[in-house]
Amino acid sequence: DAGITQSPRHKVTETGTPVTLRCHQTENHRYMYWYRQDPGHGLRLIHYSYGVKDTDKGEVSDGYSVSRSKTEDFLLTLESATSSQTSVYFCAISERVGTATDGYTFGSGTRLTVV
Amino acid sequence: GNSVTQMEGPVTLSEEAFLTINCTYTATGYPSLFWYVQYPGEGLQLLLKATKADDKGSNKGFEATYRKETTSFHLEKGSVQVSDSAVYFCALLHVVYSGAGSYQLTFGKGTKLSVIP
């Protein structure tokens, strides 16, 4: 693997509680992404980061926030979890210069269930 | 905007059968194109890629050719194995002009392939 880990791997939480998912990379890549994967929808971008403290929204950002205080860590927070946020969450990393066409490297995913 | 359309699955084939998974795209400019594979319980892995028209990406017996005239990038394999059972995603890489100049991948919805002995 390219040195990207997600934690936790599985989590069950109750509606209305806050949840934070962590993505950690050891590749020193500039770009980091959070996707969610749902049946019939493929992967949809939630938020992404193009540097420390630089983040932007993706197509399904409502109900989610992110932070990146260090190059290696990208946190995804559900401020108040809802059942519609039950999903598998994937983190990905990429580097632009010289490898702009290499696509992404993905983590193994976090399966989140909101009950 | 940018979008990817894949054939709907699931696809079930017998071992050694020929595989085609169709993928077409809509994009501005000339994006790079990718196929990713996801095995059960795992994240996505890059299978192959093509960066310009008429390029052919290949890996593990899979092939796909970047066809600009038909905006397609169909995935093919001449003889599938049980170990090829997975979900396959077509994707295009494009630049986001949001001030960051970042590259983003847009994915199709995925096609589940099951290969039976």
pLDDT at B30: 80
Mean per-residue pLDDT, B35-59:
93
For the stretch A26-44, what's the b/e string if a residue is b when 16 or more beta carbons lie within 10 angstroms of its beta carbon? eeebbbbbbbbbeeeebbb
Chain A residues whose CB is inside 8 A of the B93 CB are 100-101, 103
Instruction: Tell me what pLDDT residue A101 has.
Output: 59
Q: What is the pLDDT of residue A98?
A: 42
Winning range, highest mean pLDDT, from A93-102, B32-41, B56-65:
B56-65
What per-residue confidence (pLDDT) applies to B94? 78
Separation CA B92–CA B34 (nearest Å) = 6
Task: Report the 3 state secondary structure along A6-63.
Answer: EECCEEEECCCCCEEEEEEECCCCCEEEEEEEECCCEEEEEEEEEECCEEEECCCCCC
Residue B1: what pLDDT? 80
Please determine, for residue B26, whether its predicted confidence score (pLDDT) is greater than 90. Answer: yes
B15 band by pLDDT with thresholds 50, 70 and 90: very high
Answer whether residue B66 shows pLDDT above 90. Answer: yes
Chain A interface includes B89 (CB < 8 A): yes
Run of H or E including A76: strand A73-78
- What is the mean pLDDT of each successive set of 10 residues along chain A, which is 115 residues long? 87 97 94 92 90 91 96 97 97 70 84 97
**A90:B44 CB<8 A:** yes
The verdict on B45 touching A (C-beta cutoff 8 Å) is yes
Put simply, the answer to whether A56 touches B34 (Cβ < 8 Å) is: no
Report the mean per-residue pLDDT for chain B: 91
Q: What is the pLDDT of residue B29?
A: 79
Pairing verdict, β B62-65 and B11-14: unpaired
Per cent of chain B over pLDDT 90 is 74
